[in-house]
Amino acid sequence: MNFTLSIMGTASAMPISDRNPSAQALAVHGRLFLLDCGEGTQQQMRRAHLSFMKVEAIFISHIHGDHLFGLFGLLNTMTMYGRTAPLYIYGPQALGSVLNFYKNFFGEWDCFEIKFVPVCCKEPQVIHTSKHVTVSAFPLQHKIETYGYRFDEIVTERHWQENPDYHPKSFAYCSDTVPFPEEAAWVRGVDLLYHEATYPDEMADRAVAHWHSTAGQAAQCARDAGAGRLVIGHYSSRITDFDALLAQCQAVFPATEAGQDGSVLEF
């Protein structure tokens, strides 16, 4: 498939025996784009048979450990595999210091260039363009500086001529955030929206206190955005009834799926 999303982690900050922290891989025409890189990401990539060498760029939403602690191991494994192609890494400015620490202490044998691109925007901004996709960043509302990312397929003029009815694919990734007015507009019309749903609706007070969203709020964003499908994740360790969480979403936005570690969603 030209667009495929592999979900490698659906847990939030607390360790869960059967769930990894946040990480996803979007395959676009044979290239891979990683979204967050929680602990255990490289093991999950191996289980999913995803190539370390095909990763074109990594997009980190924010500098919380459950979205970042798998990055050092992944970079080291790329070195051991003999990667030579440059690797683009996007994220908040503070990520630069994290990467410098890695380079200073563990990057001696790296045979590829890490190209860090700091993200800083107050509204959607294109930050990465490759042969088949443009990637935009947009700010989310969390405890610290946090960004979501939107991927829009680039379709060539030749492809339009051969397939005049073709619908370009699109995907948006909204990690840790409380709801805010502009969010739905910034992900409007995407084929697939990933949105955190850390808490069930009855724990709305806790969601506000920790700068997260409830299941119903994630579904409302998808509905207001006119998204094609919604997949949720970043579940609190307090959640045991995932069917109830999914039902809360589907009551607002029926085309919702509960993400699971190892899930593969095709566009």
Edge-to-edge strand ranges of the sheet holding 264-266: 114-119, 87-92, 55-59, 31-37, 23-28, 3-9, 264-266
Residues near 46 by beta carbon (within 8 Å), at least 6 away in sequence: none
Query: How open is the CA angle 54-95-59, to the nearest 5 degrees?
Result: 35
91 neighbors 46 (Cβ within 8 angstroms) = no
Residue 224, classed as helix, strand or coil, is helix
9 neighbors 261 (Cβ within 8 angstroms) = yes
What are phi and psi for residue 193, nearest 5 degrees? Answer: -115, 125
Quick one: tokens of 28? 């676009």
d(CA 132, CA 151): 10
Name the maximum alpha-carbon separation found in the chain: 53
Which of these is catalytic: 18, 36, 66, 205? Answer: 66
DSSP class per residue in 137-186? EEE--SSS--EEEEEEE---HHHHHH-TT----EEEEE-S----TTHHHH
User: What one-character DSSP code corresponds to residue 255?
Assistant: S
Residues near 108 by beta carbon (within 8 Å), at least 6 away in sequence: none
Check if 66 is active-site: yes
Quick one: tokens of 98? 């994290």
Which active-site residues does the annotation give?
A: 66
